[in-house]
Amino acid sequence: MSTLLEVSGVSVTFDGFRAINNLSFRIGPAEMRAIIGPNGAGKTTFMDIVTGKTKPDQGRIIWGEKSISLRGMSEARIAREGVGRKFQKPTVFEDQTVHENLLMALRNKRGPFAVLFYKPTAKDLARVEALAEEIGLHDALWRKSGELSHGQKQWLEIGMLLAQEPRLLLVDEPAAGMTPAEREHTTNILVEAAKTRAVVVVEHDMEFVRRLNCKVTVLHEGAVLAEGSLDHVTTNQNVIDVYLGR
């Protein structure tokens, strides 16, 4: 299997507390992965390390065909390398329409001067239509984003991230606060996205993880406790003990 991101031997300490402990993780260029683990396992810190928000004390973070190191790069530079992150809370521009939000996200791909003199091309407009279709918001293109449901805002934000064409998309608890129907639609969007890029989903909801139908990495105390199919990891005695707090 070829590798897009390889994290090896990474550790992070906060005031003497080792939040990530000699962690190793790898993901292929078109792969879906779920990360689960109890509260405080290090899931968020792991994503913070990959995006450059938190600097590790040690370890390697190797990216892409050229095996460049992401360690020490700024967050902006890592984003330009193709790492996109979806936080739990949607952050769409509520006064703008779905169309404007998606167009703005496309525009963000350009440099500051190109943005200043930006006029959407026919190709850009077609891309906005395709993105809206992909996230299931085509019928809502001309609605103000503030009027959308929580689920729709989440999809819009995923669409805005996809507009930037990330090679790796990190998604934090996408199912939180969604109705069952919204969850199902979210699964479909992510599964589709993972056909052409790597998608890492941090999620507590096991039903959601099951529907993603992908390899699962279980974190505990900042390290990988188990990895494999959901059935494999949930029957692992160490995982059961950790979840039951034994």
Ligand X SMILES: Nc1ncnc2c1ncn2[C@@H]1O[C@H](COP(=O)(O)OP(=O)(O)OP(=O)(O)O)[C@@H](O)[C@H]1O
Task: Please report, as ranges, the residues that interact with ligand X according to CB under 6 A.
Answer: 14-15, 17, 19, 37, 39-45
* Closest CB to ligand X among residues 14, 87: 14
Residue 168 and residue 83 in contact, taking contact as beta carbons nearer than 8 Å: yes
Rounded to a whole number of angstroms, the minimum distance from the CB of residue 146 to ligand X is: 27
* Closest CB to ligand X among residues 20, 131: 20
Parallel, antiparallel, or unpaired: how do β-strands 83-86 and 168-172 relate? parallel
* Closest CB to ligand X among residues 13, 164: 13
- What six digits make up the tokens of 35? 């990360």
Residue 214 and residue 31 in contact, taking contact as beta carbons nearer than 8 Å: yes
* Closest CB to ligand X among residues 41, 132: 41
Rounded to a whole number of angstroms, the minimum distance from the CB of residue 91 to ligand X is: 18
Cα 55 from Cα 149, distance rounded (Å): 36
- What six digits make up the tokens of 208? 């959601």
Helical H runs in 59-174?
Answer: 75-81, 98-107, 112-116, 122-134, 150-163
